[in-house]
Amino acid sequence: MVLQVRFIYLVRKIRTLGIGITVAAIVIYFFGLLVAGNNQREGFESVNLLSVVALAAAVPLTLFIKRVMLKKLSMDNFQTVYFNAHVVPFAVMDFFALFCLSTNLLVNGNVIYATIAACITLAGMILLFPKEEDFEKIGPGAQDER
């Protein structure tokens, strides 16, 4: 019972962090829209496209990182490992999101790519959020299943 309460508290803490990162990225998107029309540079379209592709590739990468890190999960280390298995992918996703949004809005204004990037960021962060059904992975029989 105590373990389950700790887990629920940890899930809420991770969700709060994830929501904060997501809201920050969306706020940067909206404020970037204010200056996007002023920044038009010739020859930068490939950089814009490359940043969106890198962000899209970051989604499965972060899901893979999370899955690999969760394999080390046990009852003894669940707080540290479970927290890190979410924070590290959040950081990777945030890096690629901020790179893509700043490239597409601040460096070379491309509102279409920036909007796609904001949608990818939102979807990627939602996929990375912790799930309360993950508790079964650290239960008493979890070691036998792996």
pTM of the model: 0.85
Residue 145 has pLDDT above 50, yes or no: no
pLDDT interval class at 134 (50, 70, 90):
confident
Using only C-alpha atoms, what is the Rg of the chain?
Answer: 18
Q: Give dist(CA 20, CA 14) in Å, integer.
A: 10
pLDDT interval class at 142 (50, 70, 90):
very low
Neighbours of 22 (CB within 10 A): 22
Q: Give dist(CA 55, CA 36) in Å, integer.
A: 19
Give residue-wise pLDDT tens across range 38-73.
667 777 788 999 999 999 999 999 999 999 998 888
Give residue-wise pLDDT tens across range 67-126.
999 888 888 888 899 999 999 999 999 999 999 999 999 888 889 999 999 999 999 999
